[in-house]
Amino acid sequence: MTTHTLRRIGGRPIPDTPGEIRACMVVRNEQLRLASALDHHRKLGVGRFLVVDNGSDDGTLEFLEAQTDVHLFSTTDSFAESDHGLSWINTIFDQYADGYWVLTVDADELFIYPRYEQIPLPRFCGFLDSMGARAVFSLMLDMYSDRPLDRTVHDPGSSLMETCAYFDRGPYRSGRLTAFPYTWIRGGVRDRLFRQLDGGRTTSPVVSKVPLVKWAAGARYLVSTHEMTDMPMSDLTAGLLHFKFLNDFHERARIEVARAEHYQGALEYQAYLEILRSSGPLNLMAAESVRFEDSAQLVAMGLMRTSSAYERFATALA
């Protein structure tokens, strides 16, 4: 794919700003979640957002145009035929993020890491630089509320963490990938849901990604941010809090099945519709449910990993 398929909206330049953390999103009709996602990542220390809009008609485009730290691109190309957005992301990073730490997230994902409450993301990336790391492996935790999905109503001006405060403590299982990062993880609430379908014969989604990397032109994401070209990996691990399960879940699943633009013709969304048809009003609370507290909780549970060097670094900053 070439850059002419992406149209820049607005004429603001994207300057060379050494040390700035940049984030990229591909969005389509995400106004419900965007304000919270942008606010969270701004507070972490993201300085600039490179956002691709793929045909939104719910006010997402207009909302993004009003954000002074967002550089907006637009395309009506097929998401599926653009390697599920990776053609756009790889192109943008080669042009605007060579040599930068970049965070690739969806509008329903919030990136966290050990001590994120105290250590700003630029400092975190500075530590990674000092250790020679260029990538951070992350576990995606699917978040949900203690109410049925149809009553999990999110106020766009509020925190997604307040709306959906629970996740599954486990079980999580890992396997071997042939491409970097050479490991996949499955598990959590979506794994629970998929076991309802046919006794677990339908494979649940991978819940591991490499969303934070120090980009070098020519690097490539290969399968979403689950797989990419080789980079030196940090021994720290991070997390992605994932907010799929709001009251729009059923309608979004129906739309994505009809569009068939997602992986394997939206097979995952077809499974969600089947689950919803068979279960009626869906409440995700179970014995595995735990209320999210902070990064220390996830480290203690083994769902994120710190290191003695990082703990010394954090203590010195205190």
Per-residue pLDDT tens digits for 123-181: 999 999 999 999 999 999 999 999 999 999 999 989 999 999 999 999 999 999 999 99
Contact between residue 184 and residue 208 where contact means Cβ atoms under 8 Å apart: yes
DSSP state of 178: S
Contact between residue 193 and residue 274 where contact means Cβ atoms under 8 Å apart: no
Mean pLDDT of 312-316: 96
Q: Where are the alpha helices (DSSP H) in 56-188?
A: 60-65, 86-96, 121-130, 160-163
Using one digit for the tens of pLDDT, what is the confidence trace for 107-125? 999 999 999 999 999 999 9
The answer to whether residue 276 scores a pLDDT higher than 50 is: yes
Cis before residue 232, ω within 30 degrees of 0?
no
> What residue segments make up the domains of the chain, in order of their start?
3-317
First vs last Cα of the chain: how many Å apart?
46
* Closest residue by Cα to residue 49 from 2, 3, 1, 9: 9
Helix (H, G, I), strand (E, B) or coil at 123: helix
- pTM of this structure: 0.93
Contact between residue 140 and residue 239 where contact means Cβ atoms under 8 Å apart: yes
Contact between residue 79 and residue 52 where contact means Cβ atoms under 8 Å apart: no
CA-angle at 282, arms to 238 and 278, nearest 5°: 120
pLDDT given at position 271 = 75
Residue 73 structure tokens: 């691109």
Taking each helix axis from N to C terminus, what angle separates 263-279 and 249-259, rounded to the nearest 10 degrees? 140
- Residue that has been written with the tokens 């032109």 in this structure: 217
Cis before residue 211, ω within 30 degrees of 0?
no
Using one digit for the tens of pLDDT, what is the confidence trace for 16-72? 999 999 999 999 999 999 999 999 999 999 999 999 999 899 999 999 999 999 999
Contact between residue 52 and residue 25 where contact means Cβ atoms under 8 Å apart: yes
Cβ contacts of 125 within 8 Å, gap of 6 or more: 21, 101, 212, 214
Please state which of the ranges 101-105, 162-166, 274-278 shows the lowest mean pLDDT. Answer: 274-278
Q: How far apart are CA 227 and CA 23, in angstroms?
A: 18
Mean pLDDT of 282-292: 95
What's the per-residue H, E or C state across 24-42?
EEEECCCHHHHHHHHHHHH
pLDDT given at position 1 = 38
- List C-alpha distances in Å: 163 to 28, 36, 223, 239: 21, 11, 30, 18
Contact between residue 49 and residue 38 where contact means Cβ atoms under 8 Å apart: yes
- In this structure, the strands spanning 289-291 and 166-168 are antiparallel
pLDDT band (50, 70, 90) for residue 6: confident
Residues 258-266: contacts with CB within 8 Å, 24+ apart? 260/80, 261/78, 261/79, 261/80, 261/84, 262/79, 262/80, 262/84, 263/84, 263/224
Using one digit for the tens of pLDDT, what is the confidence trace for 188-244? 999 988 887 766 667 889 999 999 999 999 999 999 999 999 999 999 999 999 999
Contact between residue 110 and residue 243 where contact means Cβ atoms under 8 Å apart: yes
